[in-house]
A and B are shown apart, each in its own frame.
Chain A
Amino acid sequence: MEVNKTPRQASQFWPSFYKKTIIIVAVTQLGVTLLVAGLMAATGVGALALLIIVGALFATSLIANIIIVHMISRPTKDLIAAIIHVSGEKPALPLPNSNSPAYAKSGLHDALQTIYELSTHQDDSTDTASDESTTPSSAVAAALDLTNCGFVAMDSNRAITYVNKAAPIHIDTNGVRTLDLLFNDHNDLNKWLDSCEEVSVHAEHVWTRVPDRLPNEENRRLFDVMASYNKGSAAETVLTLIDRTDVYSVDEESLDFIAFAAHELRGPITVIRGYLDVLNDELDSVLQDDQHELFRRLIVSSNRLSGYINNILNTSRYDRRHLKVHLIEDSIGGIYDVISDDMKMRATAQNRLLAVQIPAGLPTIAADRASLSEVLGNLIDNAIKYSNEGGAINVTAAVNGNFVDVSVEDHGIGMPESVVSQLFQKFYRSHRSRETVAGTGIGLYISKAIVESHGGTISVRSEDGRGSTFTVSIPIYSTVADKLRAGNNSNEGMIKEGQGWIKNHSMYRG
């Protein structure tokens, strides 16, 4: 770019110009002297002639010097004019056009350009220092305001320094501007910036399908958000928001449809599970052993179907930012009890050895019983699916700092590292599992979402061919009780079962 060459050419301009001027002066004077000498030699000197010669010499030198002075002072005049212009004073001299061909040829173009650019940088730093917006030129700002895309610039304190019209923000009574973007995890952007500040000089990240309002609110928009981070720059973080409402709103409707369809499925499932439960009791004494086994398979299958419907409903809720959990004091043992019979039956039906060791004295956790039992059900279901006939599955629990860890370990097919990193993505199915095991790829996705809604984490250790261990860490109740109380969990103590109600606790993560 021109700018990179600027210092060299600007500094070279003056010496070369000076040298050229001296040569011109010397040559001119020499020419004049030769002319005079020639005249004197040819004519012989009379008084009148002398007068003529001196007069001619005077006139010639005068004209030549005026031209020379004009030439020498021209760049100085232009530079002064440029400096006057950038200093903001009323222009006394015509403003030199740095782009004229004569300047480009002589090299003065770069010197003038440098002055103009220096003035622009200075404007920026003055604005930042006084905590004003990093405002692009009015022409650019006007253009950005006409686009459908949002542009947001933030400084190193994550304060918004510029937004265009399309960007969704709100301004509080103190004039502080805040982004109206509902990230999946409401702290996504800040978390990413935290990691950037720690390890990155330059970084970029994209979030898709980020809404600015809750579902069913009017004029809801959905964006793809691209963030770019440049450490130390005046606009350290720049967000580009591409309005994809047209594309994604269609998906939203299909999510609504999925939720509706899943609800419809619950009706028949209620009857099937209910009557199986009833008949299993009533026919207990009548059925043969093999018939008992068939019955168990019916029950296991209907329970699994019900679990998958719950996964679909939860996923559709989560994707629409509807998934909410209501955290109350509970025990891992109690939560496991909800699914205990079902899991035992599933393991037996598929010939797996399920061993559950949950110590009695574990501290209580802050949990949504229905959601968390679904997570454990998903993990055990996976352990059954991805292990071999007769394989052992161990469920254990232990305290780990401020958390209670629940681990589900299988000795099945395991997976390579490349698979592990993508495991919790929606619809992700490894090449191998696609070939060998049925599934939708939402079980782990929704499990992670639920666990993180508890303020917990989910992780996996796996060895290809040796098996996998999934660990869910949930905060111990006493460590988060204050925050939960601050969140006004007014329905604490309500009986909840199955997909009971789930209350938002975003305040809980503070």
Chain B
Amino acid sequence: MAIHSILVIEDDRFIGEMYVRSLKKAGYEVDWVVDGNDGLITARNKQYDAILLDVMLPERRGGEILEALRGGSEDLIPNSRVIVLTNFEQDDESRMAMQQNADAYLIKAEITPKRLISVLQQLDGTAPAPIDQPQV
């Protein structure tokens, strides 16, 4: 199943706009929300092929959103790939928990829009989380 629709949950305006602009140019259909509560609600209300999730978010952290979506007995977004994007090092425990539920865990400073698109292309055509994904 090809990735077409993407939800960007990102509170930094510059970074959010940058991703949204590049993804739209690359032909993806993109929705963007800036706080954690809206992010969780949007992710539950509409089915996206991929979700770009920031960690340090207002109202609700990325980790909580992921836990709410995938931490329970039922995966609420079985058809979505989740890419966690952060610049802030998590402690081992929360990072580990996020990685269990995410399809990729990336450092924003290393991911230019071009690289992000190549990650999405790599995820495309592979099974949703947890994927057996070779290196980027």
Contacts and interface: CB of A to CB of B under 8 A. Distances in A.
Contact of B105 (A271, A278, A500): A500
A270 B109 contact: yes
A263 B122 CA distance: 28
Interface in A320-357: 324, 330, 334, 338
B121 interface: no
B18 A278 contact: yes
A498 B107 contact: yes
A338 B122 CA distance: 15
A76 to B, nearest CB: 74
Nearest to B98: A501
B73 to A, nearest CB: 20
Contacts of A338: 136
A202 interface: no
A344 to B, nearest CB: 16
Contact of A494 (B14, B88, B99, B110): B99
Interface residues of A, number: 36
Interface in B97-136: 99-100, 103-115, 119, 122-123, 130-136
Given A263-B88, A495-B103, A270 B108 contact: yes
Interface string B80-103: 000000011110100110011001
B60 to A, nearest CB: 20
B136 A495 contact: yes
A474 interface: no
A493 B106 contact: no
Task: Indicate the member of B92, B95, B100, B107 with the most A CB atoms within 10 Å.
Answer: B107
A275 B18 CA distance: 7
A270 B113 contact: no
Nearest to A317: B89
A196 interface: no
A491 B109 CA distance: 22
B109 A500 contact: no
A494 B115 CA distance: 16
Contact of A498 (B21, B92, B109, B131): B109
A495 to B, nearest CB: 4
A267 B12 contact: yes
Contact of B135 (A274, A278, A369, A503): A369
DSSP class of A's interface residues: helix, strand, loop or mixed?
helix
B22 interface: yes
A274 B100 CA distance: 28
B109 A273 contact: yes
A277 interface: yes
A99 interface: no
A330 B135 contact: yes
B107 A500 contact: yes
A498 B88 CA distance: 12
A266 B22 contact: no
Contacts, number: 112
Nearest to B102: A494
Nearest to A260: B88
Contacts of B134: 493
Nearest to A309: B109
A495 B89 contact: no
B15 A267 contact: yes
A162 B26 CA distance: 69
A467 B115 CA distance: 35
Interface in A357-381: 369-370
A313 B95 CA distance: 17
A334 B88 CA distance: 26
B12 A495 contact: no
A281 interface: yes
Contacts of A270: 15, 87, 108-109, 111
Contact of B89 (A278, A313, A330): A313
A497 interface: yes
A495 B87 contact: no
Contact of A263 (B87, B103, B112, B135): B87
A214 B123 CA distance: 36
Given A270-B15, A498-B107, A493 B89 contact: no
Task: Indicate the member of A273, A281, A494 with the most B CB atoms within 10 Å.
Answer: A494
7 contacts: A259-B89, A266-B88, A270-B87, A497-B106, A497-B135, A498-B109, A504-B92
The 8 closest A-B pairs by CB, nearest first: A498-B110, A498-B107, A277-B112, A266-B87, A495-B104, A266-B109, A499-B107, A271-B14
Interface of B: 12, 14-15, 18-19, 21-22, 87-90, 92, 95-96, 99-100, 103-115, 119, 122-123, 130-136
Interface of A: 259, 263, 266-267, 269-271, 273-278, 281, 306, 309, 313, 317, 324, 330, 334, 338, 369-370, 491, 493-501, 503-504
Given A495-B131, A496-B136, 16 more contacts: A267-B87, A271-B18, A275-B18, A276-B112, A278-B21, A369-B135, A491-B96, A493-B131, A493-B132, A494-B133, A495-B103, A495-B104, A495-B122, A495-B123, A498-B107, A501-B105
